[in-house]
Amino acid sequence: MATEQQHPDYDVFAAFCPSRNVFAELADKWSLLLLLSLHKLGEQRFSELQRSVVGVSRKMLTQTLRGLERDGLVRRTVHPETPPRVVYDLLPLGHSLAERVVPIAHWVEENSDSVLEARTEFDAAHGAACA
Amino acid sequence: MATEQQHPDYDVFAAFCPSRNVFAELADKWSLLLLLSLHKLGEQRFSELQRSVVGVSRKMLTQTLRGLERDGLVRRTVHPETPPRVVYDLLPLGHSLAERVVPIAHWVEENSDSVLEARTEFDAAHGAACA
DNA sequence: GAGACTTGGTCTATATTGGAGACCAGGCCG
DNA sequence: CGGCCTGGTCTCCAATATAGACCAAGTCTC
């Protein structure tokens, strides 16, 4: 079947394709959540991000932010004050991706009930079949 | 700050919120890729999926499909023929999510070049700073 | 001037996860 | 009877995530 991709040659389904690599790095809980938070709340410092994306460890926060920075989605600005102040914000490329992630977050918030219900049903049918 | 979520009380940023749990499970490479593949190509059997989503191991394929099935996004149909034939396809809920994932795949395919370029630049600036 | 406290991390130890590949059940073919 | 097919599962090992201690620089307290 015809692929509908815009960019010739690039295909996230192909393991060897550079775009798969990019996809794999971004298709991760913390990356998407950080993108969403920076998009929604604007620039934030390290500790603010840790508070807005509840549950992220400092290590993952550092690591994920570095990845996003490396990918040209996020800008890291160090203000050499004291105590140190490091601010992160989205570059245009980051915003353009974040815009596409927002609908997913909304979908999840709207449909979590259905999902949870399906899970309960599934677990009842499978897990508790013959305890 | 006002959250723009449609569903009262649900917020993917809150670690304890059920929607975060749902988000975390779906915001993963294989789940998204499977959703995309089933959306684009329609129903497929186990081995077809393994071929269309290149690089996925049988273990992860099984595990991810089970998760999606449990969440009410995917339907698993066993045809008790010989050799066995197991077909997976998207339920309406799955399609509605997949539709929102498609733009991300397109973004990645369109913008991978920029990302790759940013990476090269970043690595040149940081990695090779003072070898 | 000694401690304690701040921010933005890093490092270590442990638990969880992912991937590679062996193995398995059931039915057909030869 | 042995081997092949599918759609898994199981085991082992490597990689990754998480928790939490630790650190540097400077400022504030006492």
Write out pLDDT tens, residues B78-97.
Answer: 998 888 999 999 999 999 99
Is B117 part of a structural domain of the chain?
A: yes
Is A5 part of a structural domain of the chain?
A: no
Report the domain count for chain B: 1
Q: Which nucleotide's C1' is closest to A56 (Cα)?
A: D18
Our measurement of CA B48 to C1' D12, in angstroms, reads 27
- Predicted confidence at residue A130, as pLDDT, reads 44
pLDDT tops 80 at residue B60: yes
CATH assignment at residue B116: 1.10.10.10
Place of tokens 């081995």: B47
Q: Which nucleotide's C1' is closest to A83 (Cα)?
A: C7
Please name every residue paired with B85 in a beta bridge, in sequence order, or none if there are none.
Answer: B79
Q: Which residue from A76, A104, A92 is spatially nearest to A39, judged by alpha carbons?
A: A92
- Predicted confidence at residue B131, as pLDDT, reads 42
Question: How big is chain B, counted in residues?
Answer: 131
Neighbours of A123 (CB within 10 A): 11
Q: Which residue from B58, B116, B11 is spatially nearest to A72, judged by alpha carbons?
A: B116
Q: What angle do CA A22, A25, A29 make, to 5 degrees?
A: 140
How confident is the model over A79-125, as pLDDT tens digits? 988 889 999 999 999 999 999 999 999 999 999 999 999 999 999 98
| Residues in CB range of B33: below 8 A, 6 or more apart | A12, A13, A23, A27, B53, B56
- Predicted confidence at residue B9, as pLDDT, reads 86
Nearest to B6 among A55, A104, A109 (CB): A109
Is A12 part of a structural domain of the chain?
A: no
Is A8 part of a structural domain of the chain?
A: no
Is B7 part of a structural domain of the chain?
A: no
Over chain B, what is the mean pLDDT? 91
B7 DSSP assignment:
S
Residues of A with CB below 8 A from B19's CB? 108-109, 112
pLDDT tops 90 at residue B52: yes
B75 is in which domain, residue-wise?
18-126
- Predicted confidence at residue B128, as pLDDT, reads 58
- Predicted confidence at residue A131, as pLDDT, reads 41
Is A14 part of a structural domain of the chain?
A: no
- Range in A9-18, A24-33, A90-99, B39-48 the model is least confident about: A9-18
Distance from CA of A8 to the nearest CA of B (A): 9
Chain C bases closer than 7 angstroms to a protein Cβ:
6-12, 18-22, 26-28
- Predicted confidence at residue A82, as pLDDT, reads 80
Chain B: residue whose CA lies nearest to A10: B109
Is B6 part of a structural domain of the chain?
A: no
Distance from CA of A128 to the nearest CA of B (A): 14
Neighbours of B36 (CB within 10 A): 20
Is A94 part of a structural domain of the chain?
A: yes
- Predicted confidence at residue A39, as pLDDT, reads 98
Distance, CA of B13 to CA of B20 (rounded, Å): 7
